[in-house]
Amino acid sequence: MGRRAVNDKAICPQKPLDFFPSRRELKRLKVALSQATLGEILELSFELPRHILRLGRQFPWYNKTLYQAEPIDIYYAFNFIKYELCGYIEIERQQCLEEVKQGCAP
pLDDT tens per residue across span 32-63 = 666 778 888 777 777 778 888 888 899 999 99
Domain-wise residue ranges, the chain: 3-104
pLDDT tens per residue across span 65-75 = 878 888 888 88
8-state DSSP, 21: P
Assessment of whether the complete model's pTM goes beyond 0.75: no
For residue 65, what are the β-bridge partners?
Answer: 37
Q: Using DSSP, state whether 15 is helix, strand or coil.
A: coil
Residues in Cβ contact with 1 at an 8 Å cutoff, skipping those fewer than 6 apart: 17, 18, 19, 46, 47
Residue 2 above 60 pLDDT? no
- Looking at residue 83, its pLDDT comes to 83
Structure-derived torsion over alpha carbons of residues 29, 34, 37, 39, reported in degrees to the nearest 10: -10
- Looking at residue 97, its pLDDT comes to 83
Q: Using DSSP, state whether 65 is helix, strand or coil.
A: strand
